[in-house]
Chain A
Amino acid sequence: MESETHSAPPVVAVVVVHDPGDWFDETLNAFAGQDYPNLRFLFLVGEGESASSVSFETIAATVTSRLPKAFVRSLGTNPGFASAANEVGRLVEGENGFFLFCHDDIAPDPTAVRLMVEELYRSNAGAVGPKFVEWDDPSVLRSVGLGLDRFGVIDQPIERGEVDQEQHDGVRDVFVLPTACLMVRADLFRELRGFDDAINFYGEDIEFCWRMHHSGARVVVAPSARARHRGLLSQRRPDVSDVRLAARHRLRTVATMTGAARLPGRVLELVLLTFVELAVGLFTGRFKQGLASLAALVGLVPQVPSIIARRREVASTRRVPEREVLGLQQRGSARLSSFFRTRDTATYVGSGTSVRRWKESTTAPAITWIAVLILVVIGSRTFVADGIPMVGEFFPFPDSPRDLLERYVSGWNPRGTGATSPNPSGMATISMLSFATLFRMGLLHTLFIVGLVVIGLVGLWKLATVFPSTRARIAALVVYAASPLVSGAFGTGSLHVLIVFATVPWVVHTLRRSVGVETADPRTSETDVADGLVALPWPERLRRTAQIGLVVGLGAAFEPVVLVISLMVGLLLAVGTLLAFAPWRTAARYLVATVTGTVIAVLLNIPWITAWRWDALVGPPPIGDPGRGIRSLASFEIGPTNFVSLSLALYLPVVAALLLARAWRLTWAVRAGVLVIGFGALAVFGDQDRLPWAAPEAGLLLVPVAVGVAISAAASLAAFDLDVRGGSFGWRQPLGIAASAAVMVGVIPGVLAVAPGDWNTPSSPLAELVEAQLPSVPEDGPGDYSTLLIGDSRLLPVPSTEYRDGVSFAVLSDGNLDTADQWPATDRSEATIVGALDQISSKSTQRAGRLLAPLGIRYIVVPEFDGVNSTTTDPMELPEGLISALDEQLDIASAVSIPTFGFFENTSWLPTYALLTGATADASRTAGNAALVRSDLSQATPIFSGANAQSDATSGVTPGVVHLAIPFDDNWQLEVDGVGIEPRRAFGLTTAFDVETAGVATLSYVTPSTRSAVLGFQLVLWLAAFFVATRVSVPLARRRGPLVTDETLITFGDNMLITDGLSAGIDPGLDITGQIARGLGEESADEPAFDSVDEHPWVDDLMADAIEDPITLTIDDELPIEPPGPSSELEDGR
C-alpha cells in the first residue's frame, strides 16, 4: 500500500474501568484493533469494593497484555465516570489532540476512531460520537446520537429494537452524545473544564454536551463509526440507583444550563411536568420515575448554593445565545411523547445470567390500573365527598398536626385515664404526612385511609413484577384489589386491616428483593430455574434489608401486629422456598432478611416498643363470639359484602398453579400456597379460640391469605401462558382456563361492593352518637371528665381491655375523639376499674359510682348497636346482667334512653381536675374500695378546665387538695404562687397536691429528659435507615485532590504522527462559530476558521469529503505507533 503523507492528530482514549466482566477482553481487543495510527490509551481503573471484584493488578495485566503501551492507573474506589474522566485533563498535557472517552463495555469497530477523527475534521465539530449497536446483536441499533428536550430528558430518535439498516447513517448534529464513546477536542474539553464533577453516574454526557452547545461547538454523530455497547450499568452497579440519579442529575443540569430569564418559568414547567409524570406513571408502571423526578425536584432546594456556583462556573463558556441552543433541543416533553411511541425493556434473570428483553408492550396494565382506581374512588365516593365517617377505627385526625406532634414529643398520652407513655410512632408519622396536604388534616385523613388500599395495590403490583407476564400481574392486582377485605375493612372501619393490607405486599416484595429474587427470564422454563436469583453485593443487600425495616417499621408505627405478621410471612416464604425445592440458601436468606428487617423495624419504633405487650401487638383479644366460621374466613368476609361466597372461587388458582406451573412460577405458587395455608390456619384456629395465645383479629390474618391468593392467581395465569398454552391438549388446558375463569368469578363481590359508594357504612356511626351525647366542657362547667365504655370489644369504638369473656372496657377522655384514641396509654387504672366492675357484677355494693369517681369517670356507655357488628336485625347479645347491674347502682343514673347504647351518669364523679375540700379532701387520703365506697365525694370543685400537657394551666385555689383524676404521675407539677408542691397518691391511685394556703396555682407537665434523648436517638435511627435504604448520601467534604497521583503522562504538542513529511501542527480547533477555533497563525477569531483549515491539504481532503480513506497509514504491526517526539513524555504503560 502506498504511504500517505497525512499527519494523524493524536488521540488519547480514556477508558474508565470498573470491575469489568468477561466482555472486557472483547473491549480490549477492539481497542487494540483500531487502525488509527496515533491512538494512545489511558485506562483509569476504579476498584470494586466487594471481594468478588476484579483487582487492579489483574485488570492492568489484562490491559497491558493486549495494549502494552497503554497507561493503566488506579483511581482507588470508583468516583464515577465524570470525575475519573476529568483526570485526563491533568494526566495529558496539551491541546492539540483529541480525547476519546470510553466506557469499559464498548467494542468499537477497527475503523471507528479513525472515522470519528475524520468526521470531526469534516464537520468541524467539537465532539463526535459513533453509532452504537447492541453488544450481543450488532444488527440492532442502540443509539445514533440523542436528542434532548428543555427539561433535560433524552429523546431517543430510534425505536427500541430497531434493526440497523443504515437508515440512520447520515452524519448529523445531535444534542447529546453518550460518553460510552465520545471524542472531544482536547482544547475544548479543557476550556469547558471537563465534565461536571458533581455528576458521578448518569447524566454527565447531557451536561457536557449542553455546555458544548452553549460554547458554540458542534456535536455530531458519525454513524459510519460503529461501536458495540453492552450498557448494563444498573446491573453492574445495583448500588447506584439509575432512575433517581438520572433524575437528580437531569434537573441539576437543567437548573444549571437554563438561562436566568427562562429559569423561573422552567421550574414551574418542571413542577407541572413532574405531577403529570407522577399521574401518568401511576398508570403506566413508571411511577418510580415520577417519584424520582419529584424527589429530584425537591432535592434542588438544598442544592441551590452549589447550583448558583456552578452557573457562575459555566457562564464564561456561554457564547451562543440561549435561543439558538433551545432551537437545537426537542420541543415539548420527550418523556411524555416517548411514552406514546416507545416500549421498554426489562432485565430478566436467567440461569446464572441477566438478560435484557423487551417487555410485553400493552396498554392493559394502564387500563387495569385506571379501572381499579376508578372503582376504588367510586366505592369511596361518599368518603371523598363527605369525609371519612367515624366508623370503627376511622377516627378523624386532629385538627392540628402540631398538637399531635407535641403530644408525641411530650410523652403524655391523655387517652384513657392518661399516663406518661411512650407514645406511638404513628402520631409523629401522621404529623409528618401532613406536609403533603399542607396541613389540611381532613384531606390527609381521607387520602390516608383510601390511599392505604392504593399503597397496598402498588406494593402487590411491584411484587407481581416477578412475573414477566402482563396477564399474571393484572390478575394479581385485580384479585388483591377485589378482595372482600377491602370492602369489609372500609365497611367496618377497620383501619388496622387497611394498614396491614397496605404493608404486607410491600413486606413480601422487599423481602424477595433483599433475598435477590428478581424477575426470572420467561424463556428459561426448560431449565426449571427455581428463582430468578441475582447475587447482591452486601451493600445492596443491606440497603434492601433496610427497606424491609422501613416498610415494617412504618406499618408497625400504626399497627404493631405488622411485626408479627411480617415475621410469619418471612418464615412461611422460607418454608415455601424449601417446599418448592428451591436452594436452601434462598430460604435461609429469607429468614435472615426477615429477622434483620424486623429488628430494624423494632428499633425504629423506639421508644414505643417499650409499651408493647403481646395483646397490644395482636390487638384486642377476640371476645365473646368471634366465630365467623370457615365460610366467612375463606371468603374474606370481615364486613358487609354481597355475594361474598363467590370469592371462594379464588382458591381454585391456588391449587391450579401448583398443578400447572413449572420453574420459578411453581416456586411462587408454592410460596403463595404456604402463605394461604399458614395464615389461613392461624385465622381458623384463632377464630375458634384454639390457639394457646391471643391471635390477631381475623381480618389481619386474612391479609396475607389474600396476598397468597393473588400471587397464586398470577402464578396460575403465568403458568398458563408459559407452560400450558401451546402444548398438546390435555387436562392442563381446561384447568388453566378454569383457573382464569375462577379469577373472574372471584373478583365479582369486590367489584359489586363499590356500588353503594360508602362501603355500607352506617349513616349514624356509634362513635358519632356517643360523641354527640357527651357534653362539652365549658370553662365554668362541671369540669373535665372521662367516660367508661363497657361491652363487647367489637362494639367499643376504641381499643379495650378484656374484663371477662364477652365483656371489655375502655376509657375515653373528654373532648372530641380523634385517631390518637386508637392508641390509649398503658392503663394503670385498669386494676381500679376491674375492681369496680367486680363489685358491680357481684352486687357487692350499690355505690360503685364512688369506686370510679377518682378516675373522673362521669359517664358509662354500654354500646348495643353499632350498625356494623351489631345491627337491629342481627343484634349482638349484650353481656347478661350488665345493664341491670348498672341500673341497681344508687349513684349511677340511667341518663338518657338511646336505642343504640345504654348511657349512664355517675352522680358521684369527681372532675378530672378538682379542688377537694372537707370530707372529700380527707377521703382522698384513704385507699381501697371499702374506704372509697363510704366516702363523701360531694365536696369537689372543678379547676384547670381543659388543662393539657402541652401548656400550663392556672387557677385560683383555696386550701384543700388539688386532685388529678389520673394515675399517680410525678411528672405533673403544681405550684402555688411559685412554690412547688410535692404530689402524693390520692385514694391510693391518683395524683393529688395538698394545698395549704390560697393562691394562684399553676399546673404543668414536665416531659422526662430521658424521653427527649430517646426521641433524638429514634430520629437518628430513622434517618440512618432512610439513608441506607435510599442510597441518599450526604457529601461531607468534596474531594479536591487528584484521583491519580501521577503527574503528566502524555503531552499533546507537535506529536502529530507524520507519515509523509507533511508539517504537523494542524490545530483541529475548528469551530463553526470560530469563537474558539484557532488556526496556527494569528488569525482572528472573527475570521472563518475554514480559511485556516483550507490551507492544509489533509484537512482539505477531508472537507471535500472525497477521500474514502483519508488517513491511510502504513503501520508496521511489529512497530506500534511511535511514541511522539521529544516533547512527548510518554512513559511506560504501567
Chain B
Amino acid sequence: MSRRSLPGLVVIVLGLIGLVVVGRDVAEPPPPFFASTGGTWMPAVGASGALTGSWYCPGVPTDGSDGVGGEVVVSNGEAAQIVGRYQILTKDGVVADERFTVGSWSQTFIDVDAVSDADFASVVVEVEGGAGFVEQVARHPLGDSVAACSNDTSPRWYVASGYTLENSVETLVLTNPFDESVVADLRFSTQNRQSQPDRFRGFIVPPRSVQTIPIAELGARDEPVIAVTVEATAGRLVVARAQEYRGGGRFGYDVSLGAPELRDQWWFADGEVADGVDETYSIYNPTDEEVEVTVFFGGLPLSASTVNEGDPIVVPPLRVVVFDPTGSNSAGDSAVVDGEPAADAVTDTTLAPGADDGFGEFPAPTIDLPEGRHATVFSTLSQPSIVVDRVITRPVAGSIATSVVMGAPPRPDGFVANTWRMGVGPTEPTERALVIYNIDQAEATVTVSVIGPDGPSAVPSLSDIALPSGSIITIDLVDSDVLGRELIVTSTSRVFIERLLPRNNDLPGRSGSWLLPVSG
C-alpha cells in the first residue's frame, strides 16, 4: 500500500463509517398537516376576524299547516353591524337568496315559512367577518323548539334516540348546502334490529336542497329507540332530526342537529329525579367495536355523586343502549336494546322481537340517585365512539312535556367554556329557564348580561350568582329586561348551560336546548 494512500484511506473509510452511523438515525417526520380535522364541536360562537362565518340551520317545518313554521335569528353582539347573506333551501332548491344586515347590538329574524311551503326548509347564513351567531326556532303545534345552527358540515352524522311509538314521528332532515350532490348511506339501529336498507344506500341529496326521510316509512314503526347513522360517500351535509312525540308516554316536539362526530365524552346539565319524571339516555355505538361506557352523575352532594367505574355500561357494536338511571323507564324497560352482532349488521336483518341474537342482556347499573337535579356525564376510554341523547319527560300541569337533547361534548382540545350565549330566550317570565352545571370543584359566580342598544350589560338581579363547586343551579329569567333579548351568561368557572324554554302554543312544559358556548 502506498504511503500516499494513507490520508485518503483514513478520510474515506471514516467518512463511510460516519455516514452509515449518521444515516441510521432516521427521525420519523411528523405527518403532513393542512388543517385540523378534529375541530368539530357543538355549535359555538367564534371570535370575529374570520373572513366569513357560515351557519347551517337544522331546518324548520314549513308545510303551511296551522301553527307550523319557523324563523332564524341572527344575533349580533358586537358594535359593528353585520353584513351577510342567507339562502333558504327546500327540497326544490334555493327559494330565497338575500343579503341582510344586522345592526349593532341587535338581531335579525328571517321568517322562513314566509317563503317556503315545503315540508322543511333549511337556512344557510353566511356572515361577513365571522361575527355573530345563528339559531333557529321551529314552531309546531306540539311545541316550539329552539336549536342552534351548526358552524360546520360533516360527512357523517349520528342521531341516537329516534322514537316512533304510537304515532310518534321522527323525520331526518338532510340539508346539502353545497353545489354538488351528496351521496349518503343511511343505517338504522332499533330495539330489535339494525339495518342498512338498499333504498338508503347511495341516497342522493341534490345540490342546495333539503331532503327529509320519515323513519317510519322505512319500517321502523313503533320503535322505542331508533339510532341513525348518515354517512356521505361523497360530499358533506347537515343532518337534523325532527321528533314529534305523540304517545307512549311522551309528548312534545323537537328539531335539533345530529352529532357530526363520535366523541368519548357527553355532558348533560339537566337531569332530574322526581316524581313522574322519566329520564333516559340513548347511548349509540355505531362503531364495529364493543364500547364500555362509564356514567357519572354530578351536581350532587359529594357523597351522592356516583360513578359506575366497576360496572360500566357495555354497548355492543352498532347498537344503541337505553340507560335509565332510575330504572323507571316505561319505554325501554331495560338498560339494553337487543340487536344482532356487528358482523351481521351489514345488511338488512330483522329479528323477531325478543329473539335471541346472541347477545346477553346487560343489567342496568345499580344507581341510587337522590331527588332533584343532577348532571350526567358519559365517557368511554375507547376512541371517540359514542353518541348520547337524553330524553326527559316531565309531568306538567296535568300533562307531560318531552324534550330530547343531545349531550354536549367538550371541545376536542378539552376546552369547556365559561361564557355562553343565547339569542333566543323566553319572551315571558320563565322560572328555572337556565340550568347551569359547574364542572369545576371550585366556588364560582354566574352573571347574566343582556345585549341592549348600548351593548351588553349585566342584569343586576342576575349578577354574581353563587355557583357552588360541582353543583347545578337554575336561574329564573323573569326580569323584563331579559325577555326576548340576547343574553350572555358568564361564569367564573367552566360550566355547561342548558335552557328550558316555554313551548308556547299554550302548551305547558319546556323544551330543552343548549346555549352556544363562546369559543375561547
Chain A residues at the B interface, C-beta cutoff of 8 Å: 528, 530, 576, 579-581, 623-627, 629-630, 633-634, 651, 654-655, 658-663, 666, 669-670, 673-674, 676-677, 680-681, 684-685, 687-689, 792, 804-807, 839-847, 877-882, 884-885, 887-888, 890-891, 893-895, 897, 905, 907, 929-930, 933-934
Chain B residue with Cβ nearest A887: B236
> With A658-B5, A666-B2 in contact, do A839 and B33 touch (Cβ < 8 Å)?
no
Q: Which 3 A-B pairs have the closest CB atoms?
A: A806-B32, A630-B23, A881-B35
Contact A845 B34 (CB under 8 A): no
Shortest CB distance B41–A (Å): 12
- Cβ-neighbour of B8 out of A579, A651, A660, A687 (below 8 A): A579
How many angstroms from the CA of A877 to the CA of B31 in the assembled complex? 7
How many angstroms from the CA of A626 to the CA of B15 in the assembled complex? 22
> With A880-B33, A885-B35 in contact, do A684 and B19 touch (Cβ < 8 Å)?
yes
- Cβ-neighbour of B4 out of A528, A627, A907 (below 8 A): A528
Shortest CB distance B14–A (Å): 9
Contact A666 B52 (CB under 8 A): no
- Cβ-neighbour of B31 out of A580, A655, A806, A887 (below 8 A): A806
Contact B22 A684 (CB under 8 A): yes
How many angstroms from the CA of A934 to the CA of B52 in the assembled complex? 8
Shortest CB distance A936–B (Å): 10
Contact B5 A884 (CB under 8 A): no
Shortest CB distance B132–A (Å): 15
> With A627-B27, A688-B27, A907-B179 in contact, do A674 and B4 touch (Cβ < 8 Å)?
no
How many angstroms from the CA of A844 to the CA of B53 in the assembled complex? 7
Q: Which residues of A contact B177 (CB under 8 A)?
A: 890
- Cβ-neighbour of A879 out of B13, B33, B124 (below 8 A): B33
How many angstroms from the CA of A660 to the CA of B128 in the assembled complex? 77
Contact B37 A580 (CB under 8 A): no
How many angstroms from the CA of A348 to the CA of B178 in the assembled complex? 78
Q: Which residues of A contact B49 (CB under 8 A)?
A: 844
User: Is B9 positioned at the interface, with any CB of A under 8 Å from its CB?
Assistant: yes
Chain B residue with Cβ nearest A625: B29
- Cβ-neighbour of B23 out of A684, A841, A888 (below 8 A): A684
- Cβ-neighbour of B52 out of A576, A681, A804, A933 (below 8 A): A933
How many angstroms from the CA of A887 to the CA of B234 in the assembled complex? 9
Contact A891 B179 (CB under 8 A): yes
> With A658-B8, A661-B5 in contact, do A880 and B155 touch (Cβ < 8 Å)?
no
Shortest CB distance B465–A (Å): 35
User: Is B274 positioned at the interface, with any CB of A under 8 Å from its CB?
Assistant: no
Chain B residues at the A interface, C-beta cutoff of 8 Å: 1-2, 4-5, 7-9, 11-13, 15-16, 19-20, 22-37, 39, 49-52, 54, 83, 124, 126, 128-130, 152-153, 155, 177-180, 207, 234-236
- Which of A677, A846, A894 neighbours the largest number of chain B CB atoms within 10 Å of its CB? A846
Q: Which residues of B contact A807 (CB under 8 A)?
A: 32-34
How many angstroms from the CA of A576 to the CA of B4 in the assembled complex? 12
Shortest CB distance A48–B (Å): 36
How many angstroms from the CA of A807 to the CA of B155 in the assembled complex? 23
Contact B13 A655 (CB under 8 A): yes
Q: 14 new A-B pairs (CB below 8 Å) besides A624-B29, A670-B8?
A: A629-B26, A651-B16, A655-B9, A658-B8, A666-B5, A674-B11, A677-B16, A681-B19, A805-B29, A806-B31, A879-B33, A880-B31, A880-B37, A890-B177
Contact A655 B12 (CB under 8 A): yes
How many angstroms from the CA of A673 to the CA of B7 in the assembled complex? 12
Contact B51 A674 (CB under 8 A): no
Contact A842 B35 (CB under 8 A): yes
How many angstroms from the CA of A792 to the CA of B16 in the assembled complex? 31
> With A528-B4, A933-B51, A934-B128 in contact, do A677 and B32 touch (Cβ < 8 Å)?
no
> With A666-B4, A845-B52, A847-B51 in contact, do A879 and B178 touch (Cβ < 8 Å)?
no
How many angstroms from the CA of A633 to the CA of B22 in the assembled complex? 12
Chain A residue with Cβ nearest B11: A579
Chain A residue with Cβ nearest B52: A845
Chain B residue with Cβ nearest A579: B8
Contact B32 A888 (CB under 8 A): no
Q: Which residues of B contact A930 (CB under 8 A)?
A: 51, 128-129
Interface of A is mostly: mixed
Q: Which residues of B contact A680 (CB under 8 A)?
A: 15-16, 19
Interface of B is mostly: loop
A-B contact count (CB 8 A): 193
Q: Which residues of A contact B32 (CB under 8 A)?
A: 623-625, 792, 805-807, 877-880
Contact A897 B36 (CB under 8 A): no
A-B residue pairs in contact (CB < 8 Å), sample of 29:
A579-B8, A623-B32, A625-B29, A630-B22, A659-B1, A660-B1, A663-B2, A666-B5, A669-B8, A670-B8, A673-B8, A676-B12, A677-B12, A680-B16, A684-B19, A687-B23, A804-B33, A806-B32, A844-B130, A845-B51, A846-B126, A847-B51, A882-B35, A887-B236, A890-B54, A890-B126, A929-B51, A934-B83, A934-B128
Contact A881 B36 (CB under 8 A): yes
Shortest CB distance A71–B (Å): 53
- Cβ-neighbour of A894 out of B37, B52, B124, B235 (below 8 A): B235
Chain A residue with Cβ nearest B6: A658
Q: Which residues of B contact A907 (CB under 8 A)?
A: 179
Contact A843 B35 (CB under 8 A): yes
How many angstroms from the CA of A847 to the CA of B54 in the assembled complex? 9
Chain A residue with Cβ nearest B36: A881
Shortest CB distance B256–A (Å): 21
How many angstroms from the CA of A627 to the CA of B27 in the assembled complex? 8
Q: Which residues of B contact A669 (CB under 8 A)?
A: 5, 8
- Cβ-neighbour of A844 out of B51, B83, B124 (below 8 A): B51
Contact B25 A528 (CB under 8 A): no
- Cβ-neighbour of A893 out of B23, B33, B179 (below 8 A): B179
Shortest CB distance A317–B (Å): 62
Q: Which residues of A contact B25 (CB under 8 A)?
A: 688
Q: Which residues of A contact B34 (CB under 8 A)?
A: 804, 807, 841, 879-882, 885
Chain A residue with Cβ nearest B14: A677
Shortest CB distance A220–B (Å): 55
Shortest CB distance A729–B (Å): 16
Contact A846 B8 (CB under 8 A): no
How many angstroms from the CA of A847 to the CA of B84 in the assembled complex? 13
- Cβ-neighbour of A670 out of B12, B35, B236 (below 8 A): B12
Contact A894 B234 (CB under 8 A): yes
- Cβ-neighbour of A627 out of B29, B52, B54 (below 8 A): B29
Q: Which residues of A contact B235 (CB under 8 A)?
A: 887, 894
Q: Which residues of B contact A580 (CB under 8 A)?
A: 4-5, 8
Contact B52 A895 (CB under 8 A): no
Q: Which residues of B contact A677 (CB under 8 A)?
A: 11-12, 15-16, 19
